[in-house]
Structure 1
């Protein structure tokens, strides 16, 4: 599957017939989390089922000389058991998390429940919180924890991961970036000036 950032994608609404799909565009949401160019917090793509994602391939078709912001941020999640505080690691491996995604401006949502870290496969899947000043496109809550406590858990986890291994890629024309979705988390800074057009290919 490939899609261009800034162009429409098609996503089924929860509870609707599979044939009925809603078109999500940058214009439709103001800043759709996939096709937009605003802030996108750290996350891993897909799920562990039909939409399991191994690699992301990003290629910059165009970028203005004066473009500012819009960096892709990457942090490693390898050896997570050895770097996270014991209490956070226990929560990741013993409590399910549910992420609620906002699909469109009309208030359609979908939910995904999953175990954040599976030691047997060393597989991390997480959707980290938006800043409190931003309108969230998703929110994650751990079973048995409040929304505020879940935010604290993820914020502390993100801080540990980004302190250990972190890079920020500023896009220029013809740049190619390959991200291992099973061994890292990634994010997007808002594009504050100029333009860039990045194509994404998902490898499952």
Structure 2
């Protein structure tokens, strides 16, 4: 059995915690977690003990996995293993800016399932942050909303070709808003900090100069990541974080030099 703890994870009201019994069946747990994530945007459970097959079983209990279009892993199990390979970004050690999963490959992803199989890092490192983008968008000032409305799309240049092997090799546009019939929301992947190497992608606002675009995207990022909209999770082994990819944006802080971080990731489409 699971029970919802009525404690939102952000000031804006996003998120909920679930308590569970060690004897909880994974199929029943998956159904409870899915329903809670879709209602609250993000759900957290602690103290689970999942090996890879059990994690995959839980992912499939939540629904249909996405059609996989990436260069590594599977939709029911990708290991975000903090690789020391200098060319790795998504599965590497650097930060990831706020983004929508599936954006760059045109793949609809509704739920993101993350489970900490191993974690040891300094406070602030290797942490996952989740933005209540619906609340942020509802109160977004005109100077941030207008460029998104007028452009209709942002343009992206993918640099991590090994992870995104089938996307265009040049700049290409992606609509900045999506609506699959469940919720209308922002559809974004924001910029890596200046000097980041390697970067997974670049992004720009069409119609603006490079300087204007960079300044606008930095302002948008700062607005979305305000504490009132954002939950930042410090991992412990056994934590499960399930994120509604339509209602939120998410990213991660950089992983410390000596840090260990192995998350299992699954992706569900409704």
TM-score (norm 1): 0.78
Instruction: Return the structure number with greater relative CO, CA threshold 8 A, min gap 6.
Output: 1
Deviation at 1:87, TM superposition (A): 2.9
Alignment partner, residue 98 of structure 1 = 155
Deviation at 1:56, TM superposition (A): 0.6
1:41 is displaced (CA, Å) by 1.2
Which protein is richer in strand relative to its size? 1
For the aligned residues, what is the CA RMSD? 2.5
CA drift at 1:79: 3.8
Q: Is the 8 A contact 2:204 2:210 kept in 1?
A: yes
1:173 match: 237
Structure 1, gaps ≥5 residues long = 8-25
Shift of 1:137: 2.3
CA distance in 1, matches of 2:103, 2:205: 16
SS at match of 2:146: helix
Q: 1:158 to 1:140 in 2, by over 3 A?
A: same
User: Is 1:5 the equivalent of 2:80?
Assistant: yes
Q: Give 1:124's aligned residue.
A: 186
Alpha-carbon displacement from aligned partner over 1:7-29 (angstroms, at most 9, x marks no partner)? 8xxxxxxxxxxxxxxxxxx455x
Distance across 1 between alignment mates of 2:87 and 2:251: 15
Quick check: which has more Rg, 1 or 2? 2
Separation in structure 2 between the aligned mates of residue 182 and residue 200 of structure 1, nearest angstrom: 17
Once residues 111 and 27 of structure 1 are traced to their aligned partners in structure 2, the CA distance between those partners, rounded to angstroms, is 28
Q: What's the CA shift for 1:39?
A: 1.2
Q: 1:173 to 1:49 in 2, by over 3 A?
A: closer
Per-residue CA deviations over 1:35-92 (Å, capped at 9, x if unaligned) read: 112211111111398511111100011224xx22100011111144432121321221
Deviations 1:85-139 (A, max 9, x none): 213212212312111111248xx84654122125895221111111113123211
- Structure 2 CA distance, aligned partners of 1:40 and 1:81? 21
Alignment match of 1:114 (pick from 166, 171, 174): 174
Aligned length: 181
Q: In 1, distance between residues paired with 2:88 and 2:171?
A: 17
TM-score, with structure 2 as normaliser = 0.60
Task: Decide whether aligned partners of structure 1 residues 92 and 174 sit closer, same or farther in structure 2, where only a CA change above 3 A counts.
Answer: same
Matched residues in 2 for 1:79 and 1:194: separation?
A: 33
SS, match of residue 144 in structure 2: helix
* Equivalent pair of 1:42/1:186 in contact (CA under 8 Å): yes
Query: What do residues 146-181 of structure 1 show as CA deviations (whole Å, max 9, x unaligned)?
Result: 222222222111222222311111111111001111
Mapping for residues 127-142 of structure 1, pairs under 5 Å:
127-135=189-197, 136-142=199-205
> How many angstroms apart in 2 are the aligned matches of 1:51 and 1:118?
12
- The answer (yes or no) to whether the contact 1:31–1:38 under 8 Å persists in 2 is no
